[in-house]
Amino acid sequence: MSFRTEDYVEGDTITAIATPIGSSGIGIIRISGGRSVTIAKSLFRKEKDRSRTLESTFLDRLPSHYLTHGYIYDPSNQGVIDEVLLVIMRAPHSYTREDVVEIQSHCGPVILNKILKLVLTGGARMALPGEFTRRAFLNGRIDLIQAEAIEEMISAKSENALKLAISHLTGRMKEVVSGVEQTVEELQVELEAGLEFGDELSNPEVDFEGLNILVQERLIRPIEKLLTQYSEGYLIRDGIRMGIVGRPNVGKSSLLNYLIRKEKAIVTPLPGTTRDLIEEYINIGGLSFIITDTAGLHATQDPVETIGIQKTRENIDQADLVLFIIDGNQPFIGEDDIAFEKIGGKKIVVVINKVDLVADPAVIHIPDNYTSHPLVFVSAKYGHGIEQLKEKITEEALGRVTIDPGRNLVPNLRQKLGLESALDAIRRAQDAIQMRAGEEVVLIELGLAKDALNAIIGTQFSSDLLDQIFSRFCIGK
């Protein structure tokens, strides 16, 4: 289900299961909107004994953010559904700045769906993906950068990715972008005052030299720094793509299985077993890797293998790091050289596998064209050398990632594109200043820059943009 603007109705009371359904301790049904408390009153009682009633104003008097124990009843037959804890978070002190009720029940699909159905019957509608967070944004509790940070926190696949998301959630990115936007606005006011009231000013001449320095130091440099950090740090958030490449039957699938600690890829003595890409996330040294087992690179007439090899080549093009696997029992034969040539220009770690079959790995002759890359001896079957391989992978990956995720800010792709748009406009304004083109031209470009910066924060936004952002969220968030 995707979020569409036409599905959003302001004032609706929405609900969803906010926790994964499965075998766990508790499940949470979240309700937000003007009818939240009314719906809760129709379903919740403090007493299990149906003969004892409680005045209906109990939940009206319940303090905000105060957990209370009770039971969910089915109004149609007064049957007890579950023993629960219930909390009311009253507007505006809630996630959405609306009245929010959360029912904490035992977890299980039957229980959760039964309570959800009762809430829907009581007057709520199903929340769309990300609709709770969308309301938090529209009601001014968070800005658009923080909204995106929430999704990034949920989907973070490493501790460093989580640190980046937290830095955005705490408002550090907004602080930098807002600081640039404020400087743009101050310049606009100053230049407009010169145009409107130049005759009344004691010094109507524009200090173009000073203006040029200010634009460079307070506008261009902060944006350039953020963009530089994107090019270095997006790998932390999105994951480092690492392909396992080599000729058939050198142990690529065995290495994948050992690294992820499960039998994800089929392993047989027969060459050509892997015919499609197999991807898995793995965390090494605090970094998230998207590791891919690929079809062996070799000449073949098999149409299915041919498709797999084409996918392998496409994966190599996209990879940030390649593990090139050599069979230590049959090392550096012609097929290895042919496959190795196809990954030229990539960051490569050469992995000599199956050393358990070699009497003395030290006597293996390493051809010159391989020696310029890091080299590790392993046995994917028994795990020998795997820790050294992980260390080498981390070293090579960190050569691409030089930022400190606890201190630096890394824009996401939407923010990056907005920053690039703002920077282009500011540079055009700088060109106009240097050419003494006049305040009017400078003001036009500064206005475009301000619009781009406001769109990043969410001061200005389109419905299509919100649909795109919040459709990535899960239902219940």
CA angle 275/281/286 to nearest 5° reads 145
pLDDT for 1: 43
What does DSSP say about strands 287-293 and 240-245: parallel, antiparallel, or unpaired? parallel
* Tens-binned pLDDT, residue by residue, of the chain (477 aa): 444 444 555 579 999 999 887 667 899 999 999 999 999 999 999 876 554 455 567 888 899 999 999 999 999 888 899 999 999 999 999 999 999 999 999 988 899 999 999 999 999 999 998 999 999 999 999 999 999 989 888 888 788 888 888 888 888 889 999 999 999 999 998 888 767 655 554 455 667 788 889 999 999 999 999 998 887 677 887 788 888 888 888 888 888 888 887 654 444 454 444 445 577 888 888 788 888 877 655 444 455 455 555 666 666 677 788 899 999 988 888 888 888 887 877 888 999 999 999 888 888 899 998 888 999 999 988 999 999 999 999 888 877 666 676 667 888 889 999 999 999 999 999 999 998 887 889 999 999 999 999 999 988 877 887 887 887 887 778
> What CATH number was assigned to the domain covering residues 5-143?
3.30.1360.120
Element (H, E) at 28: strand 26-32
What CA–CA distances, in Å, run from 134 to 11, 41, 120, 165, 464? Answer: 13, 26, 20, 18, 13
**Tokens matching residue 196:** 């409107």
Chain centroid, CA 45 distance in Å: 41
Give CATH superfamily name and number for 158-457. Answer: P-loop containing nucleotide triphosphate hydrolases (3.40.50.300)
* Distance (Å, whole) CA 446 – CA 449: 5
pLDDT for 34: 94
For 14, list phi and psi in degrees, rounded to 5: -115, 155
Beta strands in 258-297 (DSSP E): 278-284, 287-293
* Distance (Å, whole) CA 35 – CA 121: 12
pLDDT for 48: 67
Selection from 233, 214, 235, 236 nearest residue 225 by Cα = 233
Selection from 303, 291, 301 nearest residue 265 by Cα = 291
pLDDT for 195: 72
Domain ranges of the chain: 5-143, 158-457
pLDDT for 265: 43
3-state secondary structure of 169: helix
User: CA-CA-CA-CA torsion for 54, 58, 59, 65, nearest 10 degrees?
Assistant: -120
pLDDT for 313: 67
* Distance (Å, whole) CA 88 – CA 67: 8
User: CA-CA-CA-CA torsion for 192, 193, 197, 202, nearest 10 degrees?
Assistant: -140
pLDDT for 272: 46
231-267 confidence digits (pLDDT tens) = 767 788 778 888 888 888 888 888 888 888 765 444 4
What CA–CA distances, in Å, run from 245 to 68, 257, 368? Answer: 58, 14, 19
pLDDT for 5: 46
What CA–CA distances, in Å, run from 475 to 12, 25, 120, 133, 470? Answer: 16, 20, 15, 10, 10
**Tokens matching residue 244:** 């396992």
Selection from 471, 477, 418 nearest residue 448 by Cα = 418
pLDDT for 293: 78
Selection from 149, 161, 239, 172 nearest residue 477 by Cα = 149
* Distance (Å, whole) CA 82 – CA 66: 19
* Distance (Å, whole) CA 328 – CA 312: 22
Residue 384 has what DSSP assignment? B
**Tokens matching residue 458:** 């969410």
Compute the residue count for the chain: 477
3-state secondary structure of 58: helix
- The 240-245 sheet, strands edge to edge: 278-284, 287-293, 240-245, 321-327, 348-353, 375-377
366-404 confidence digits (pLDDT tens) = 999 888 899 999 998 899 999 999 999 988 887 766 667
CB 156 within 8 Å of CB 119: no
Selection from 80, 101, 95, 78 nearest residue 28 by Cα = 101
pLDDT for 390: 93
